[in-house]
Amino acid sequence: MAKTKIFWIAKKVDDTMQMWGYNNKRKAEEKGLELYGVGITDFSFKLDGEEFEDEDGDTAFIYSGQIDSFGHFLLYRADGMPGAIGLEQERAATEYVEAELPNSAGACFSAKLKGGSCDVYMSSAVEANGAMWTFEDGEVNEQKETKTTMRHIHLFEQFINEKVNIKKEIKKIADYYDDTETSGTEIYVKDYVEDENVSSHGYMFWWNAEDQECGIEYQKTAAGDESDDPCKTADDFITYVNSRT
């Protein structure tokens, strides 16, 4: 069977990992530079856990490599590290997973990549684009290709679990207002502390990004007011403040 070169890239953030596979070196390099950051010119297919800051401000690690595929290949995470291997038959891929990857997660792909690329996202669950099947802990999942991307999974986890990228959202508020103070997952807008237009008292607004709560804290009284609606994002909080000033 003809040999196909597969170029792969892995990005690791905390306990999540996403891997991409390409049968075109130039497209793989473009993806690597996109992930690694604008201005980075030393991307190669020999990266072994280079640390960098991703677009969300998180600490990430990037890996890359290339393999020969003779019909099929696996992209996987084992012991927290990325791996890739080319195999001839799909059955051989299944047997390899069951025998060699008992505590791993990943996906099996055909070397004839539709569109020239594929990817697999591994966290508490495994999702893949272009995969024949996925696997977890040595067991093959028979479902076919899913169309969920890492970005969709990331957003799903953020908002279904009522979480946001706190660092990014708080920075957005700090950039929007003149006088703010941050404490953990809370931010206070102090632009109106000396304002006496409300109940003859100055006041400041607060947002707890983790609990998705926001409200007003008055300067000269213990009284306050809390929003009835959840403030899920920085935009929600800014809307809340602007509606009361």
- Answer for the pair 190, 181: CB distance below 8 angstroms, yes or no: yes
Is the per-residue pLDDT at 161 higher than 50? Answer: no
Q: Cα–Cα distance between 136 and 76 in angstroms, integer? A: 9
Task: Kindly indicate the confidence band of residue 200, based on its pLDDT and cuts at 50, 70 and 90.
Answer: very low
Task: Kindly indicate the confidence band of residue 193, based on its pLDDT and cuts at 50, 70 and 90.
Answer: low
Residue 97 phi/psi, 5° resolution?
-60, -50
Is the per-residue pLDDT at 228 higher than 90? Answer: no
Last residue of one domain, picked from the residues 103, 135, 160: 160
Is the per-residue pLDDT at 145 higher than 70? Answer: no
Give the percent of the chain with pLDDT over 90. Answer: 37
Last residue of one domain, picked from the residues 160, 181, 196: 160
Amino acid letter for position 88:
E
Same domain, 133 and 114: yes
Last residue of one domain, picked from the residues 137, 160, 183: 160
Mean pLDDT (the chain, rounded): 81
Q: How many domains does the chain have?
A: 2
Angle at 71 between CA 67 and CA 75, to 5 degrees: 50
Residue 222 phi/psi, 5° resolution?
-75, -10
Same domain, 139 and 203: no
Is the per-residue pLDDT at 214 higher than 90? Answer: no
Same domain, 134 and 45: yes
Q: Cα–Cα distance between 167 and 152 in angstroms, integer? A: 20
Same domain, 117 and 154: yes
Q: Domain span at residue 80?
A: 4-160
What pLDDT does residue 182 have? Answer: 84
Rounded to two decimals, the pTM is: 0.58
User: pLDDT (tens digit, 9 = 90+) per residue, 6-25?
Assistant: 999 999 999 999 999 999 89
Same domain, 19 and 105: yes
Give the percent of the chain with pLDDT over 70. Answer: 78
What pLDDT does residue 63 have? Answer: 95
Same domain, 96 and 136: yes
Same domain, 206 and 139: no
What pLDDT does residue 224 have? Answer: 53
Position with higher pLDDT, 159 vs 54:
54
What pLDDT does residue 191 have? Answer: 66
Same domain, 70 and 177: no
